[in-house]
Structure 1
């Protein structure tokens, strides 16, 4: 999705209508509260240093009324050059307040309510690392807890095209990818390690079993057949087996067994080291 207008220095976010791409809602320098859902699931987000346009600007003239609702949009994250890093679908966007911003003449601080399940707590720091180009070595997810790793995977999914912009095509079949199993303790950490093995630091290659199956159909960095060399596999696979069960990734059945079945179905040669 393209971003309307021209993003200047300091503009980290952009909003564009989901219904009409030409309906550009404007840029913002910051978006406070974006990763903090309330009890009803809605988020109150302060778009600081905002230059509202289109439907969002119209809504500001109807604060407190039904016409303050702008509808659904794509919230885009921008790098320092104004290039799109990734986006999320947000719905029920409603303007609730606006005031002049201290960030510049003509800018406003606009408060909106919106709904988005994918904006996971813990994602802000990962997006900051993507924006700053700090995802330049493997293992940066190791210190995260399970929820932090899920947030990591959410950002990896959304930013995957940006992360792969220098290598947009799948690696040719027949490659050997090395998965470091030392930090694999459960499903989330396995997906972090797998994405890193296939696509490098910050890489994505699935965040649940169905997604791994989809990635193996092509378009996510590697096309089967290929070899996955799983280092330190003994400890890792034992942890995966012990962390299986209802309510986890597979719902029912063994995560590790289903994982190997998926790999086998796609002619992936898994070499355990």
Structure 2
């Protein structure tokens, strides 16, 4: 007899929590970093079982509409999701075997496109692999951007943390080679391993407004800041200007 199925994805309607169907996997969902522009795309949900009664009998034109493709962990909990607008089913094919599973091809609009680098990170997160400090340091720049993608989505899906002020964060500029490594390092300083506190200057501004662990006034002691400034260029100037504008006590060492 076959063992229990491990659902890795689910589809829910935008305005509800009910799972329309669960899936064992996906295809054409995660794309290369270079192709991550907002766009209409088609992708497959593989090994699906319906969890919403009668969906196969629906008029599939324009259904299911606005959805979230949810990442499911090994305990069947939602740990993140990607929004897909205006989705519709383009095809259904039966899988062999005794499971009565189907593959479903969906079309929809992605405002934020899932990147290939995030796929393996999601697998680690769903398996509950313990996170250690500075895991991101060994990643390439593209993979650090994927790291921030996953961190952002998990932060958005969590219950949130209390905003504190008055703290001092010591930032090691020797490990910062570009803006992606800054946001990985600073997110970790504020919210622990794989923590999130922005992935570009606009989202950093949003985080400074509250809901992500700390609000000004607080202090950032940026060690080896000249090293960071040389490698980061204009990004360094934008970040330090924003910190100053928002009332962060910035100490450049």
**TM-score of the aligned structures, taking structure 1 as reference length:** 0.78
The 1:172–1:92 alpha-carbon spacing in structure 2 relative to 1, beyond 3 Å, is closer
- Aligned 8 A contact 2:172 2:222 in 1: yes
How far residue 98 of structure 1 moved from its aligned partner, in angstroms, is 2.0
- Could you tell me which runs of 5 or more consecutive residues in structure 1 were left unpaired when the two chains were aligned: 1-7, 245-254
How far residue 80 of structure 1 moved from its aligned partner, in angstroms, is 1.0
How far residue 228 of structure 1 moved from its aligned partner, in angstroms, is 1.6
* Residue equivalent to 2:7: 11
1:82-141 deviation per Cα after TM superposition (whole angstroms, max 9, x unaligned): 111111110232322223335762322222233324212311012122222335112222
1:200-253 deviation per Cα after TM superposition (whole angstroms, max 9, x unaligned): 111111111121111111101112211222233231122112xx3xxxxxxxxx
- Could you tell me which runs of 5 or more consecutive residues in structure 2 were left unpaired when the two chains were aligned: none
Q: Which among 189, 201, 208 is matched to residue 216 of structure 1?
A: 208
Q: How many residues align?
A: 246
* Residue equivalent to 1:127: 122
Structure with the larger RCO, 1 or 2 (CA within 8 Å, 6+ apart) = 2
- Aligned 8 A contact 1:73 1:90 in 2: yes
- Between 70-79 and 28-37, report the one with greater CA deviation: 28-37
How far residue 269 of structure 1 moved from its aligned partner, in angstroms, is 1.6
**TM-score of the aligned structures, taking structure 2 as reference length:** 0.84
Distance (whole Å) between structure 2 residues aligned to residue 202 and residue 238 of structure 1: 26
* Residue equivalent to 1:71: 65
Superposition pairs for residues 21-60 of structure 1, below 5 Å?
Answer: 21=16, 24-36=19-31, 41-54=39-52, 57-58=55-56
1:67-87 deviation per Cα after TM superposition (whole angstroms, max 9, x unaligned): 264322011111111111111
- Aligned 8 A contact 2:72 2:79 in 1: yes
Superposition pairs for residues 98-247 of structure 1, below 5 Å?
Answer: 98-102=92-96, 105-118=99-112, 119-134=114-129, 136-161=131-156, 168-241=160-233, 244=234
- Aligned 8 A contact 1:56 1:95 in 2: no
Distance (whole Å) between structure 2 residues aligned to residue 259 and residue 104 of structure 1: 56
RMSD: 2.8
- Aligned 8 A contact 1:29 1:49 in 2: yes
